Structure formats: structure tokens, C-alpha cells
């Protein structure tokens, strides 16, 4: 395989207090009510990245689709909520401990979209997560295990993360990559498939930054501002 194709991409960041409202406005999914905010931001951005990709039956994508997500500081916010309730009558949150696992956002996408292919969760640094995620997703496409890969990174400002980074807003960036040009609708960006994420620097239409920078938060969008692409790849940025 000499090329892969970018079908769509989206990135966004929010203040923590806005995430619940944004999620309720985006989904009418009963199971989603209990999700932690870390998973909600990934779910919102993935759904917007999937719009206009030409993929059909997005609630049952199946075994030929994979997921690769890099989480910056993982689910520490959920763990901190669990820890805060230890030894306090009526305040213990066992579900928060389960949600602290770094694989939870990827698992949510797998469940919601019916993805039964490889699902990979990586622990990454804030500005370097795109390299690991892209390299892994390229490997899945080149190996033939997947026809499409949902690849992305996310960050949530837990107390621990705030002490280390000073970044106060939750962020997520998602791209949909494919090896199947004949399945596409309209025009898709043809990207040379380098062997490592560090070499994978083709620009994202309408964003002007490399896909690697896009997924590594080196070109993070303004609050509530999204940069989704569709199958015709409008050259202009647009807000949701």
C-alpha cells in the first residue's frame, strides 16, 4: 500500500463546565449520561470527524475499522474523584475508579459505533501524542488489519495534569484515515504513507498545519471552534 487517505478531521477544546451541555446537545444516548467528561469530549469530536466521510452505517462500522487514541494524563480526573471519596460516608464513587482506566474513551467509541477491529489506547505526552498515535494507525492500515482507522489524541485537565501543564481546557483531536480510495465519496486527501508518525506531515485542508501537529495540539483550535472536514474538503475553517 503506497497511500492512505484522510476522510475527515475535527478538533475542539472546552472549559470543563461546558462539556456536559455540549454532550447533551450532541447525543440522545442513555448510556452516555454516566460517562466521565474525558470520554464525552472524545465522543463529540469523533462524531463530528465522521460526518461526511462517506462511511455508511456509522453505528455498526464492524471489524475492518480500528481505533487508536493517545491520552494525555489518561483518566486521572476520574481517579481523583474516586480518591476524594475514600473514607467519607456516602461519597465513594466506585464507577469513577473504573472510568479512570485510560482505555475508557476508546472503549466508548467502540461500543457506540460498533467497531470490532483493533482498539488501541496509548499513554502520551500532551504535545507528542500525535506521533505515537499516527505511527500505530499507519501500521494497522499497512498490515491490512484495517481499512479505516479512527486516530486521535485527548487531554483533560485533572488536578495532576494542571500542576504539570498549566492547560486549563479539555482538548481532543480526531482524524479518520483509510486505505480504500475506491470506497470514498467526492474528493479525499491522498497522503503518502510514511513509516512513522514523525514523517507523516501532509497538511490538513483548511487548517494549514500538518496532520501530525493537528493531532499533537501544536495547532489547537480556539474554544468551541471546530475544524471538521467532509468529503469535498472545504478550504475554509468553519465553526460548529
What is the per-residue pLDDT across 129-167, written as a single tens digit (0 to 9) for each?
677 888 889 889 889 999 999 999 998 888 777 787 888
Tell me which long-range contacts 143-146 makes (C-beta under 8 A, separation of at least 24): 144/1, 145/66, 145/117, 145/118, 146/64, 146/65, 146/66, 146/117, 146/118, 146/179
What is the per-residue pLDDT across 15-74, written as a single tens digit (0 to 9) for each?
999 999 999 999 999 889 889 999 999 999 999 989 868 787 889 999 999 999 998 766
Which residue from 146, 129, 140 is spatially nearest to 215, judged by alpha carbons? 129
The answer to whether residue 204 scores a pLDDT higher than 70 is no
What is the per-residue pLDDT across 94-107, written as a single tens digit (0 to 9) for each?
777 778 888 999 99
Helices 76-84, 37-50: crossing angle, 10 deg rounding: 150
Q: Is the pTM of this model over 0.75?
A: yes
Domains annotated for the chain, with CATH where assigned, are: 3-168+178-215 (3.40.47.10)
What are the residues whose beta carbons fall under 8 Å from the beta carbon of 130, sequence distance 6 or more?
70, 153, 173, 197, 211, 212, 213, 214, 215, 216, 217
Amino acid at each position: 500500500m503506497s497511500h492512505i487517505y484522510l476522510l475527515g478531521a475535527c478538533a475542539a477544546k472546552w472549559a470543563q463546565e461546558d462539556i456536559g451541555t455540549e454532550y447533551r446537545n450532541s447525543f440522545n444516548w442513555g448510556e452516555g449520561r454516566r460517562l466521565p467528561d474525558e470520554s464525552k469530549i472524545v465522543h463529540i469530536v469523533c462524531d463530528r470527524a465522521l460526518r461526511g466521510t462517506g462511511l455508511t452505517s456509522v453505528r455498526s462500522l464492524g471489524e475492518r475499522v480500528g481505533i487508536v487514541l493517545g491520552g494525555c494524563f489518561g483518566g486521572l480526573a476520574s481517579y481523583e474523584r474516586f480518591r476524594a471519596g475514600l473514607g467519607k460516608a456516602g461519597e465513594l464513587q466506585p464507577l469513577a475508579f473504573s472510568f479512570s482506566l485510560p482505555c475508557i474513551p476508546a472503549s466508548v467509541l467502540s461500543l457506540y459505533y460498533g467497531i470490532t477491529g483493533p482498539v488501541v489506547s496509548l499513554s502520551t505526552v500532551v504535545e507528542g501524542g500525535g506521533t505515537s498515535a499516527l505511527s500505530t494507525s499507519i501500521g494497522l492500515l499497512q498490515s491490512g488489519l484495517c481499512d479505516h482507522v479512527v486516530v486521535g489524541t485527548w487531554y483533560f485537565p485533572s488536578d495532576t495534569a494542571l500542576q504539570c501543564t498549566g492547560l486549563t481546557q479539555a482538548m481532543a483531536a480526531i482524524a479518520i484515515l483509510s486505505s480504500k480510495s475506491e470506497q470514498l465519496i467526492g474528493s479525499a486527501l491522498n497522503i503518502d504513507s510514511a513509516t512513522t508518525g514523525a514523517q507523516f506531515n501532509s497538511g490538513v485542508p483548511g487548517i494549514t498545519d500538518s496532520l501530525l501537529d493537528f493531532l499533537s495540539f501544536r495547532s489547537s483550535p480556539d474554544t468551541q471552534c471546530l475544524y471538521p472536514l467532509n468529503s469535498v474538503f472545504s478550504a475554509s475553517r468553519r465553526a460548529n
